[in-house]
Structure 1
Amino acid sequence: MSSITRCPNCHTAFNVTAAQLAAHRGKVRCGKCAFVFNALECMTAQAESPADAPVDPTITEAVADETAVTVEPQHGAPHADNAVVAESPEPEPEPEPEPAVDALASEPASAIVAEPATASAEAAPSDYRPIRTIEDDALLAPPAPPSPWRWIWVAIAALAVFVLLTQIALRYRATLSTELPWLRPIYVSACQSLGCEMPLPRHAELLRSDYSELSYVPGRHNLVQLSASLRNLAAYEQALPTMELTLTNEREEVVARKRFTPSQYLVASEKNRSRLAPNDELRAYLQLDLDKLDSSGYSIYWFYP
């Protein structure tokens, strides 16, 4: 004898037999919404009319520990309703085709085909809702609208980055214009507007002393004259360096040392020079009164203070 049970989630009615209910203590899984429930607690009265029962080919499975088996409803059965499937330890032979095994089954098991429902069931309500997990609800939830303050903070952060980069560019303008010569006209124009100075590069290692000579002025034993030339080996303009002259005696002892600025050592024809162009040469000329100093040697050192 069969009874009718109803899924408490989707309200679909199914035929179950006493043997099926006893095999797994009434525990079944709805084939329509996959809800697991106790069929003994959800039994429906037999007085329902067959016309009221929902006709749905969905398969219901019986749950037994961790193994579940699914079969098709019996072909040709009158008033075919949703079928209930339960696992049985001793399968009964059936003339019907072999049952299709559910993908959840971990190992093969025999299946029992439930009889079609002989009693009617109420129509399933229209507010049927499938069971969803917490992850499903999170994925289906609409995204929260962006806060208007978000764009204000983005604008403030962008402004702060711009100010920081501007300060770095101004602080290292000489170095950047040296490494990237195309930036120098931009820096010059910007400094004219901002009231800052655009200094020329100062790389003393790219300066080479080509010629120098220290000699006494004829007829003047206390006067010496220095002639020297300096070349810029850099591929860019450089500032004029400072020249340091050191005088030594016969014992290589320093008797005098003095530094001269460009306005002091430049020859008369180059007094207005303010920079040293790439591969350009400047000439220095000095007259010094040694008075009573005894000097027989000298050395020149070009540098940037």
Structure 2
Amino acid sequence: MYTQCPECLSVFSVDARTLAQAHGFVMCGHCGAGFDSISTLADQLPPEPFTELSAHEPGIEPPHVELVVYRPQPEKGPETAAAETQSPQDAFADLIVTPRFARAQHTTKARRWPWILACLILLLGLSAQLAWALRESLIADPTVGSFLRQTCAALNCSLPPVRDVAKLRLLARDVQTHPTVPGALLISATIRNDAPFTQPWPVVTIRLSDANGKALAMRRLNPYEYLDDTEQLRQGLAAGASTALIFEVEDPGRKAVAFDLGFE
């Protein structure tokens, strides 16, 4: 059997298997056009020259059926039924539209606040550690120390003691033979705390020397060695307060003609 391309009039030999696979529609191998091969199908070629094959006439025309017995309806889901019962205005009333930038902004804020909170906690912890490391300098500072003392007084707390022996002033001193203990000396001294804060009682250094300034004896006295009052020892020396201290030391002999006091 033969068929002819209606575009370039090329004639091709075809068989029943090829026509069955393509359902009669083939592509021209010369010009590439697609066409219905059955419309120009012929059993044999006419004598040359020829321009067009004779049309193939189908033997039986397919019958038409007209009587409809049953036609299934498309299934309707819950959403389709609800959409059909609602009016267009009701359907648009339930529609919620959120702008893209609003969603992005809300998401960004939700993700940012935990990091901000963590940074604030770390910053407060670092500030507390730094304040504790510099507590003596802060309490000794006239401005910051005054604020801390007022705050602590309002909160009913106590600041840690700060020692600044440079603010201790020796107002008076005296030495004499101990009236009741043989071979001992009785040294008295009056000191004042010029610091704007309460100081712990200092360690007192007593040095006895001869006329040439040579040290004959020296002793370091801790606060609990020259103070008998435990409550006074705990409270410390208040800001601007003056007090008299008594020290008992061993007499190094007549060569000791001078003495001095120091604070640590």
The correspondence for 1:255, drawn from 216, 219, 226, is: 216
Alignment of 1:87-106 (within 5 A): none
Alignment deviations for residues 49-98 of structure 1 (CA, whole Å, 9 cap, x no partner): xxxxxxxxxxxxxxxxxxxxxxxxxxxxxxxxxxxxxxxxxxxxxxxxxx
CA contact (8 A) 1:234 1:278 kept: yes
Alignment deviations for residues 169-228 of structure 1 (CA, whole Å, 9 cap, x no partner): 333334333433232364589897xxxx84222121211000111222369773211010
Match of 2:196 in 1: 235
Partners of 1:190 and 1:171 in 2: CA distance: 22
Alignment of 1:1-305 (within 5 A): 145=105, 146-147=107-108, 148-179=110-141, 180=144, 181-184=146-149, 186-187=151-152, 198-217=159-178, 222-266=183-227, 272-273=231-232, 274-290=235-251, 294-303=255-264
Partners of 1:233 and 1:169 in 2: CA distance: 24
Are residues 189 and 173 of structure 1, via their aligned partners in 2, closer, same or farther at CA, if it must alter by over 3 Å?
Answer: farther
* Structure with the higher helix share, 1 or 2: 2
How many residue pairs get aligned? The number is 157
Alignment deviations for residues 241-264 of structure 1 (CA, whole Å, 9 cap, x no partner): 111001112221111111112222
SS in 1 for 2:130: helix
Are residues 293 and 272 of structure 1, via their aligned partners in 2, closer, same or farther at CA, if it must alter by over 3 Å?
Answer: farther
Partners of 1:218 and 1:142 in 2: CA distance: 94
1:166 positional shift: 2.0
Partners of 2:122 and 2:155 in 1: CA distance: 20
Alignment deviations for residues 94-138 of structure 1 (CA, whole Å, 9 cap, x no partner): xxxxxxxxxxxxxxxxxxxxxxxxxxxxxxxxxxxxxxxxxxxxx
Are residues 170 and 256 of structure 1, via their aligned partners in 2, closer, same or farther at CA, if it must alter by over 3 Å?
Answer: same
Residue 182 of structure 1 aligns to which amino acid in structure 2? F
Deviating beyond 6 angstroms after TM superposition, the runs of 4 or more aligned structure 1 residues are: 188-192
SS in 2 for 1:152: helix
1:231 positional shift: 0.5
Residue 283 of structure 1 aligns to which amino acid in structure 2? A
1:159 positional shift: 1.5
TM-score by length of 2: 0.50
CA contact (8 A) 2:193 2:239 kept: yes
- Structure 2, gaps ≥5 residues long: 1-99
Are residues 253 and 286 of structure 1, via their aligned partners in 2, closer, same or farther at CA, if it must alter by over 3 Å?
Answer: same
Are residues 201 and 162 of structure 1, via their aligned partners in 2, closer, same or farther at CA, if it must alter by over 3 Å?
Answer: same
Partners of 2:248 and 2:117 in 1: CA distance: 64
Residue 246 of structure 1 aligns to which amino acid in structure 2? R
- Structure 1, gaps ≥5 residues long: 1-140
Residue 184 of structure 1 aligns to which amino acid in structure 2? R
Partners of 1:298 and 1:187 in 2: CA distance: 41
Cα RMSD over matched residues? 3.2
* Structure with the higher strand share, 1 or 2: 1
Match of 2:57 in 1: none
Percent of counterpart pairs with the same letter?
20
1:158 positional shift: 1.5
SS in 2 for 1:276: coil
CA contact (8 A) 2:139 2:197 kept: no
Partners of 1:158 and 1:261 in 2: CA distance: 44
Partners of 1:209 and 1:199 in 2: CA distance: 24
SS in 2 for 1:224: strand
Match of 2:54 in 1: none
